[in-house]
Amino acid sequence: MNHMNKSTEYWQGLDRAHHLHPFTDAKSLNEKGVRVMTKADGVYLWDSEGNRVLDGMAGLWCVNLGYGRKELVDAAQRQMLELPFYNTFFQTSNIPATELAGLLAEVAPAGMKHAFFANSGSEAVDTAIRMVRRYWQAEGLPERNVIISRNNAYHGSSVAGACLGGMGAMHEQSGLMMPGFEHIMQPYWYQDGGDLSPEEFGLVAARALEERILAVGPEKVAAFIGEPIQGAGGVIVPPDSYWPEIQRICNQYGILLIADEVICGFGRTGNWFGSQTFGFTPDLMTMAKGMSSGYMPISAVMVGERVANTLIEKSGEFYHGYTYSGHPVAAAVAIENIRILKEERIIERVAEDTGPYFQEKLQIFAEHPLVGEVVGRGLVAGMVLVKDKKTRELYENGSDVGTMCRNHCFSNGLIMRACGDRMVLSPPLIISRAEIDEMLDKAKYCLDLAAKDLG
C-alpha cells in the first residue's frame, strides 16, 4: 500500500471520477481538483504537495486533542484486539460503553446521569427528537410534539436534522419540510440588533420563543433546541441575557430544553459544556466531535433526570438505536480522550490561559477595515466581513467575500473557515500561545490580501 508514491494528479483524478463530497459543488471542485491531505501532527496538516497548513478548525471543530495522539490509537488497537464489536441492544452491553456512560455522567452537569450512544452529531440530534417525543407520549401528552429551533441553526444533515436546523439553503433542497418544527430568530446582535444594546437585544431574541410558544399553543410544544454558540451559522455568540431568559421561558411552559453541544462540548468554550459557560441547565445535551477528538465516530445524548425517569419508568421499550450505538472501539477512544482532557488539564488551560490569550489577540481584527464584530469564547471565534464598519452594512455577496478570504488562507498555510460572510476559527485545544500567534498572523495577512482585492 505504497500510496504516497502516487501523484496528486492521480488522487485528484480518482476522486473526480468516483467521490461525491459533502457540502461541495462537485462541478467547481472538478475544475480545480481536490486538495489531498496526507498526514498530520499536533495542530498541523500536510497535503500531497508537501505543503504544511495550520489547522485553525481542528478538522471540523473536532480534533480537540490535536493530531498524532498515540494514546488514542493504542486505546483503539487494544480494544479491537479484545472485543472489536458487540452491540448494546437486547439487554447486552460491553465494558467500554458502560464505562464511558459512567464517565460522561461524571463530567456532565449535575443531574445528567444517563447516556444514549450514536455515531454522529446528526444521529444524536435525531435521537433527541425521538426521545423528547417519546417522553411526552409516555407522559400521556402525545400532542406535545413540536420542537422549536432557530434560523441559521445547524443540527445536522439527516432528513429531520436538516428540517430542524435553520439553514435556508438546506431547507430549499429538502423538498417537503417535515411538520413539527418551528424556527424563531437567532440572537445575532450585529446583524439584527439595530439600536438596542446587546443585552436588550438578547432579551428580545429570547422572547421570540415565548411568542412562538403562545402562537403554536403551549400544549403542543415539546422542546426548544439551541447550540450554546451557533457554530456553522458563523460562531454567533448570544448576548449574556439570552440563555437565562430562554431557560426561564422553558421552565414557565414546562417545555424541554435541549443544548446541542456537538461543537461546544468537551472544552471548546473553556468549560466541559457550553451550557455551563452561558449559565443554563438543559434537560438533554447532544454531543459528538470533541468526545473522541474525531479519532472515532461517536456521539451521545446525555439525558437529565426528568426525561430519564420517564423513559425508564413509563416508556416501555424505546424502539430506537443504531447498530454501532456504544461501539466498543469508539467508546474506548472516547474514554482515553476524556482521561487526557482531565489529566493534562486541557479545559482549565483553555479557560485560564490559551482561551483568554486567543480572545485578546483577536482584537487586532477589530481595527481591520474588512471586519465588523469579533466575538468568541475560549478557543472558538467568529468575525463578520463588512462593507461599512460604521453603518454595520454587510456585503450583498457576503459568501463570495468569505470564500475569497478562505482561499487566501488556504494558499497561505492556514485553514480558516468561511460561514457565509463570517470567518471562523476553532483550533485544536492543545494549541500553544506561539501557534496562536502564528495562526492570527496568517489570518491577518490573508484578510489584508482580501481587502486589497476588494480595493
**317 Ramachandran zone, left/alpha/beta (phi>0; psi -120 to 50):** beta
259 binds ligand PLP (CB under 6 A): no
Sequence-distant (6+) residues with CB within 8 A of 18 are: none
Which of 96, 156, 233, 326 forms a contact with ligand PLP (CB under 6 A)?
A: 156
Q: Are 112 and 285 in contact (CB under 8 A)?
A: yes
Nearer to ligand PLP, 72 or 440 (CB): 72
- Which of 79, 120, 149, 337 is the binder for ligand PLP (CB under 6 A)? 120
Contact call for residue 232 and ligand PLP (CB under 6 A): yes
121 binds ligand PLP (CB under 6 A): yes
Residue in 288, 418, 439, 440 binding ligand PLP, rule: CB under 6 A:
288
Which one among 65, 125, 298, 300 touches ligand PLP, defined by CB under 6 A? 125
Residue with cell 410558544: 213
If you search the block for the grid coordinates 399553543, which residue do you land on? Answer: 217
Any contact of residue 322 with ligand PLP (CB under 6 A)?
no
Residues 447 and 404 sit within 8 Å (Cβ to Cβ) = no
Specify the residue, 302 or 386, whose C-beta has the smaller distance to ligand PLP.
302
For residue 299, the minimal CB distance to ligand PLP (Å) is 6
CB burial of 355-387 (b: ≥16 within 10 Å; e: otherwise) equals bebbbeebeebeebebbbbbbbbbbbbbbbbbb
Closest-CA residue to 373 (of 223, 219, 187, 218): 187
- Contact pick of 154, 243, 266, 324 for ligand PLP (by CB under 6 A): 154
Residues that contact ligand PLP, how many (by CB under 6 A): 15
Residues making up the chain, counted from first to last: 455
**C-alpha cell belonging to residue 402:** 468569505
- For cell 422542546, the residue is 223
Helix (H, G, I), strand (E, B) or coil at 286: strand
Q: Does 122 bind ligand PLP (CB under 6 A)?
A: yes
Q: Does 166 bind ligand PLP (CB under 6 A)?
A: no
> What's the closest the beta carbon of residue 157 comes to ligand PLP, in angstroms?
6
Candidates 193, 228, 231, 304: give the one binding ligand PLP (CB under 6 A).
231
| Alpha carbons 259 and 109: distance in angstroms, whole number | 12
Residue nearest to ligand PLP (CB): 121
Enter the C-alpha cell of residue 21.
463530497
Q: Segment near ligand PLP (CB under 6 A), from 95-103, 109-117, 154-162, 317-325?
A: 154-162
Site of interaction with ligand PLP (CB under 6 A): 120-122, 125, 154-157, 227, 231-232, 260, 262-263, 288
